[in-house]
Structure 1
Amino acid sequence: MKITKEIFPQFIEDADPKASGPVSINSYDKNLEHFYSSDMIGFIKASSVSSFKKTRTGLKYVISADKYINRKVMTHETVMNQLVKQKNEKPVDMHVRIDVWTQDTLRIRYGLSVVKEEEIKLPPEQRMLIKDKPDKIRFSVAEDDKNIFLKTKKILITIEKSTAILTVLDSKGEFITKQARYCIMPADSTGMAIGNDGRTTSSFDSFEIASKEQIYGLGERFDHVARKGAVTDFWNKDAIGTSSRRTYVNVPFIVSTAKYGIFLNSSAKTQWDIATKEASTLSFGTAEPVMDYFIITGKSMSEVIFNYCSLTGFSPVPPIWSFGLWMSRNSYMNWDIVFDVANNIRKNNIPCDVLHLDTAWFKDDWNCDLRFSKERFPDPKENISKLNNMGFKISAWQYNFIPPREDNVNYVEAKEKGYLALDKDNNIFRHTNDLPGSWKNDAIIDFSNPEACRWYADQIKDVIRTGISAIKTDFGEGIPEEAKYMNISGSRFHNLYSLAYNCVIFNACKEVSGDNIVWARSGTAGSQRYPLHWGGDSQCTFEGLQGTLRGALSIGLSGFIFYSHDIGGFIGRPTPELYIRWAQMGLFSSHSRCHGGGNTNSREPWSFGEEANRIFKKFADLRYSLLPYIVTEANYCAKNAVPMMKAMVLEAEDDINTYSIEDQYMFGRSILVAPVLESMEKTKKRKVYLPKGIWFDYWTKRRIKSQGSWIEVAVDIYTIPIFIKNGSILAYKKDNAINTEESIFPIEKIESYGKDAEYTITDGKTEYKIQVKDGKISCKDDKYIERLSWK
């Protein structure tokens, strides 16, 4: 029905700009909110299809689009915005291109001119999209009086001629999703539109959301895992804690319980409104004149995430030693402290593989010149070799800035060779002094400059050659858009910078060591190709612990397989109880690192008392015993794009009870972990949801048959609720290991949960198959097994 003033008195039909004054932009910030809320911004909106033609890779069509003005209007005391059609203005052409990328994935692009391939100057490994050409797919295009049809083996697209509305169905004709119709309130839904605010041209689209549908993804979200109704800050930032909308990792990808996903192929300013402005609408926009996104379908949410990773890349598996314990603080100030920690770890019989040197291994703390201090860290090769002989790998910190000091050789060289970001006057970029703050004068390495990338990579390789096994790629998220970079605009590079930065260092390390690892903080789409990421600077509170788990689950729903966090939290000093609870979750994460802020603010377990040390050792020993399971699951998860810390919605996708669970998770395919996220003062029992099926209490071996129900578990400080799925096999290494020995073999013990089970243990090279039939175990051979027992 056409909206008129007669049936809706609040509807405004006059859009004469002269009658309303000049355009005002109320909030030109790090998103596109002003397009929705400012007065007198122009929009061009899709109206009807005027022509179409089949292409070699899909379909092109032209839409007749009408011109609108976004007007701020008032009815009684209510101020709102309406899109008002401009009178006496001729329609313009909107050009749409749909390419069949795979049997279940479509790429949709549109703008006000014919859509052409964009020239991208960054190398392929620094781009979000790595599958930049469609498969050769057989598809058909047809039409009738009302619709245009595009069909592959797995999906059917219909485009209604009279409205240009696009609908996605599966091969059987079952509904998947549909573009939302235009709402008169642009703050509710713009629909398919191009907007211009007088400074930039931006593109928008909207899709319907069903009432029981839930949406996930968008990267590392500390506020909520489920995104429906949650406002999203989509601009990489120093999160400074793990309980706000700020995040280090924004990923322009969502996945729906309706078994589709949308990947917005843009690193520019982006806005996501998922039932936040209009309850039944998912809207998104980007500060680009051409909209470019993929609709991804699949038989399951897991398959949708897999198909997304087919576009942006899969994660390789980090080395076995990285799945051991990492010990760190900010910072160990000299070799004496490092060796003291190493000796105490061995004295306390705590298994550990990695010691980390944070910000202080240079001449001065934070003076990142990639050169060991001659006074505090002399003879690095010799001392690293000694630590290697004690069973420790060494990790080293750096960041993407260079302090502007003339005694920093990297700063002097980078300045001379033009490797740094510049301001509008071609001077080295500096933040203004309008606000108080820190690190405002640090120079920024321009990783869009190929020569700067090679220069920095060569220095990282030299660091690795001293015996360092991994590099921590700290920061990378706070990159100013107003700075000038060699091969990309600042507005496009801000979120993308993290990908280029981690790519350079990851590849440099791998070239020397052969290992797939960095310890990264910032990221975006495609960053999963360069594992692994950790959750940044969490606050030392139970709220910080809760937000850390939300970040882990949401980033896992965004294509990231491996994730870690600072056991104990970073900002502040954890109580012994918080430290224990964080360790219990952290040692059931893909990677485990103790870390905290302050060179005397230790995170070694003995510094929190005898009880904390004992409980920590119990869980660390269990982790090391479970190494065959952990590494096997790491290989499975990387191959199948399944996060190692898997949200319950991926375990039981059709169970609506799992949609809002954000305090428990599957650790691999078999182990359900329900960490205790509140103090004992607040909780003596823990509710745990068991999806339909048979589960076993890990500690008591009690068998529980669930119809998909909540159970209540009494909690104490010594354990957390852990359940094993029926049909699982857990394989163990020997107890009392001091490190991983970089191997998952030999297997010492096997536990079978249920009378029938099958499991293939692998380290990525060797496979070892175990079967249990009617309670009897059989193995291909026993050369990898020392002693067998099973439950």
Structure 2
Amino acid sequence: MKPTNYHLFDFLDFDVSLSRNESLWKACKPSAVFENDGDICVLVPFQKQILANDMAADTGVPREEYTLIIRQYEPKILRLFIGFGEEQMTDESEMLQMSDRVKKTPLSVSFGNGRWTVTDPEGTVRAVINIQEPELDRWSTLLPDPQETLDIRLYPDGKREIRLAAYDHFSPPRYDALPIGFCKLDGQKERATMSFECKADECFAGTGERFTKMDLSGQTFFLKNQDGQGVNNRRTYKNIPFYVSSRMYGAFYHTCAHSKLSLAGVSTRSVEFLSDQAMLDVFLIGGDSMEEIIRGYRDLTGYPSMPPLWSFGVWMSRMTYFSADEVNEICDRMRREHYPCDVIHLDTGWFKTDWLCEWKFNEERFPDPEGFIRGLKDKGYRVTLWQLPYVAEDAEQIDEARKNHYICTLTKQQEGEGSNFSALDYAGTIDFTDPAATEWYKGLLRRLLNMGVAAIKTDFGENIHMDAIYKNMKPELLNNLYALLYQKAAYEVTKEVTGDGIVWARAAWAGCQRYPLHWGGDSCSSWDGMAGSLKGGLHFGLSGFAFWSHDVPGFHTLPNFMNSRVRDDVYVRWTQFGVFSSHIRYHGTNKREPWHYPAIAPIVKRWWQLRYKLIPYILQESRKAVSGGSTVLQALIFHHPDDPMCWHIDDEYYFGDDFLVAPVMNSEGRRDVYLPEGNWVNFFTGERYSGGKWLKDLNVPLELMPVYVREGAEIPVYPEPVDCTDDMDLSKTEYIKIDGRFGGIEW
């Protein structure tokens, strides 16, 4: 983007040459406010702007008037909706799954002193709509007066004020944000914007799996799911149109349209949202804690379900295993050498032709799939399988899929360079907007699940064929929503057949937290890959998701994508990070089994044993996460939103509510650790510290990691070594009291 310093171009995506037939319509002072069935309706006139760099009213064109609806819900949720005559407010949405806690609260409105005041039945003010003229001390007519504006202050929790950005401009023609506006192209409404005022010191987090600093203020994001191609850039597989603010509110933009979100980026005075759809449906969520705000978001979009016990064990994979013999040899060796492990994952190599997904085992490499899976299950292993939501030209299902329109119908030859990492390699995307196509896909998985497969890796899904026809949705709206429809289908059939609700997914949009679990995509096996992964996981946890994992020790290598060797220290440090994640899976483009790294294999085995020792604690924290608003991997601001330091720390995290984890991400084995408020005990040594301070330049041997536990906590642990979770009898769980007698974990 080449910035122009004109709002039309820098945020609203107008043609810089002004050669297109497009127009901007700006919200003006309300003409009326009234109550309708407990909602407050605000009649907002919109004034067309002259098509020019500087904004000015085109008074020769009549205003258009549309209704802004204000609705209040328990608990502490306020909804703003305006459809510009194109869309109606609805709760019938794949993204919404409102809990029983969400109850509409009737509102009433009164007028006095130049403002409408909106209150609930208890008299709590929920909105103030100001129509007073600003006080002036006029001495110059050099510049025109500013245009009318829409000035509304909102109070979702009855306390904190969130104000539309009514006055974000320099001189009257030079706007940086609009409270509400919409655009037309060739006479058709196609984009809409809404902005909220932000404070100079306000910080933001969330918005999906964001591979960047903890405080997102000053940044502008394009909310379009796409192949992230790593974890160190602005692209991401998981965009979530929801953020949390240090002013203790959250905003959920209920849309699946391609959108733009500027968190004090284009203007430091405003949070600006631009949707490619002419509709704005925004839920503002108040709360006294991050947990309360995120729970409010889940009350709207759904709660995560609890993954099965076996999923919390170690997953072993690489890209890829090629035969039943190879898999059995690896699994037998892990049992023989007592590397605890629960899952063996088959990636792209279980088909007749590598990468050619036909949802069928290669009969030569896997001559008896049922026996193969059953034999592994008898040894305590679950088998999971890779696949994707595209059908290839050479797949045996292509004729059936085309004849029945189970895949999209392409409208033109796809442009771009296809590869093994692009939807463009395939003949079409499975059309999950069509119930018949969804059932067909479920049938492909059902056959595999009935053979004993435990779960499906729902890879890809962040890209679809765009120059195509889908049965019930335009591709521009389907692109982001596709991950939700795809994962829902796989989750439902897995739950139906196996009883376990689980997928292993890469893409995500609002609502996908209902279908765990997700992993962080194709990270590099490097320190920056590890750091980027953690940043993504922290923001993801603040976006409503309870469970998240990552490829240990990174997916690909440098400088050669598939063939460079992973460094021993990267392997160990990433293992330590994985042990203290909700789920731990080894995967990548070359060998991942620990015995291929003999110098550090004993260290790795020891950390795997610690993982299994901690499974009772992980289960405890997971149950809390699925019933409220918490997550297993928690940014420091989740517990300390009032600590400014925590808004700038993205290389530490809480693991559940009791552990503080500080992974080492360098070859020197040194790092600084910030201990937030509280009393902390080193989990390995028993050393005690008071919080609110830094521990500087710690020297951390390779076999250890800085892990601290809250003083006074009781940590449930499993007392015996096991080879897999099938060996566990959770009634044997013991509790370690972190008190004056605790001298460090024995492991």
In the superposition, the TM-score normalised over structure 2's length comes to 0.90
Matches within 5 A, 1:372-771: 372-405=361-394, 408-424=395-411, 430-432=413-415, 435=417, 437-438=419-420, 439=422, 440-442=424-426, 443-572=428-557, 573-597=565-589, 601-610=590-599, 612-680=600-668, 684-741=669-726, 743=728, 745-747=730-732, 749-754=734-739
- Equivalent-residue separation in structure 2 for 1:176 and 1:287 (angstroms): 24
Q: Which residue of 2 aligns with 1:79?
A: none
Q: Secondary structure at the match of 1:84?
A: coil
Q: Which amino acid aligns with 1:431?
A: Q
1:214 aligns with 2:203: yes
Local SS of the residue matching 1:207: strand
Q: Return the offset for 1:458.
A: 1.6
Local SS of the residue matching 2:330: helix
Task: State the shift of 1:726 in Å.
Answer: 1.9
Q: 1:498 to 1:38 in 2, by over 3 A?
A: farther
Contact residue 544 and residue 629 of structure 2 kept, 8 A: yes
The whole-number CA distance in structure 2 between the counterparts of 1:585 and 1:203 is 42
Moved more, 138-147 or 549-558: 138-147
Offset of residue 190 of structure 1: 2.6
Counterparts in 2 of 1:153-192, with a 5 A limit?
A: 156-162=126-132, 163-169=149-155, 173-183=159-169, 184=172, 188-192=176-180
Opposite residue 147 of structure 1, the aligned amino acid is: R
Aligned to 1:325: 314
- 1:380-415 per-residue CA deviation (whole Å, 9 max, x = no partner) reads 11111111111111111110011111xx33222111
SS at match of 2:701: coil
CA distance in 1, matches of 2:506, 2:387: 12
The one-character-per-residue Cα deviations of 1:4-30 (angstroms, maximum 9, x if unpaired) are: xxxxxx999xxxxxxxxxxxx989xxx
User: After superposition, what is the alpha-carbon deviation per residue over 1:351-393, rounded to whole angstroms, capped at 9, x for unaligned?
Assistant: 1000001111111111211111110011111111111111111
**Cα distance per residue 1:338-363 (max 9 Å; x no partner):** 01110121132111000001111111
Choose from 238, 262, 265 the match for 2:254: 265
C-alpha contact 1:111 1:289 (8 A) present in aligned 2:
yes
Shift of the 300–146 alpha-carbon distance from structure 1 to 2, 3 Å rule, reads farther
- For 2:117, the equivalent position in structure 1 comes to 149
Counterparts of 1:245 and 1:295, CA distance in 2: 26
Whether the aligned pair in 1 keeps the contact of 2:183 and 2:190 (CA below 8 Å) is yes
CA apart distance, 1:576: 1.0
Residue 83 of structure 1 pairs with residue 55 of structure 2? yes
Q: Paired residue for 1:229?
A: 218
Q: 1:587 to 1:177 in 2, by over 3 A?
A: farther
By how many angstroms is 1:130 displaced?
2.0
1:440-462 deviations in Å (ceiling 9; x for gaps): 24021111111000111022111
Unaligned runs of 5+ in 1: 1-9, 13-24, 73-81, 756-774, 777-788
> What is the distance in 1 between the residues matched to 2:738 and 2:370?
47
SS at match of 1:659: helix
Q: What's 1:359 paired with?
A: 348
State which of 335, 343, 350 in structure 1 corresponds to 2:324: 335
Cα separation, 1, equivalents of 2:518 and 2:372: 28
Write the letter of the residue equivalent to 1:532.
L
- Native 8 Å contact 1:38 1:70 kept in 2: no
Quote the sequence identity (%): 32
Aligned-partner Cα distance in 2 for 1:132–1:324 = 31
In the alignment, is residue 345 of structure 1 matched against residue 334 of structure 2? yes
SS in structure 2 of the partner of residue 741 of structure 1: helix
Distance 1:742-1:559 versus aligned 2 partners, 3 A rule:
farther
Shift in Å, 1:734: 2.5
* Secondary structure in structure 2 of the residue aligned to 1:338: helix
Does the 8 Å CA contact 1:750/1:790 hold for their aligned counterparts? no
Q: Which residue of 2 aligns with 1:291?
A: 280
TM-superposed deviation, 1:569: 0.8
- Which residue does the alignment assign to 2:135? none
TM-score in terms of structure 1 length: 0.85
Shift of the 142–211 alpha-carbon distance from structure 1 to 2, 3 Å rule, reads same
Q: Is the Cα contact below 8 Å between 1:103 and 1:155 reproduced in 2?
A: no
Aligned partners of 2:295, 2:630: CA distance in 1, in Å?
A: 8
Partner in structure 2 of residue 306 of structure 1: 295
* SS class of match (2:484): helix
Cα separation, 2, equivalents of 1:521 and 1:557: 17
1:101 aligns with 2:84: no
Say what the alpha-carbon RMSD is for the aligned residues.
2.6
Opposite residue 354 of structure 1, the aligned amino acid is V
Q: Give the 3 Å change call, closer, same or farther, for CA 725–250 of structure 1 in structure 2.
A: same
Q: 527-536 or 709-718: which moved more?
A: 709-718
Q: Which amino acid aligns with 1:723?
A: Y
Where does residue 14 of structure 2 map in the other structure? 35
The yes-or-no answer on 1:54 pairing with 2:26 is no
- Which amino acid in the other structure matches residue 574 of structure 1? V
Going from structure 1 to structure 2, the CA distance change for 1:115 and 1:389 (only over 3 Å counts) comes to closer
CA distance in 1: counterparts of 2:222 and 2:726, whole angstroms: 43
The residue type equivalent to 2:604 in the other structure is F
- Structure 1 residues 11 and 260: alpha-carbon distance in aligned structure 2, compared to 1, 3 A threshold: closer
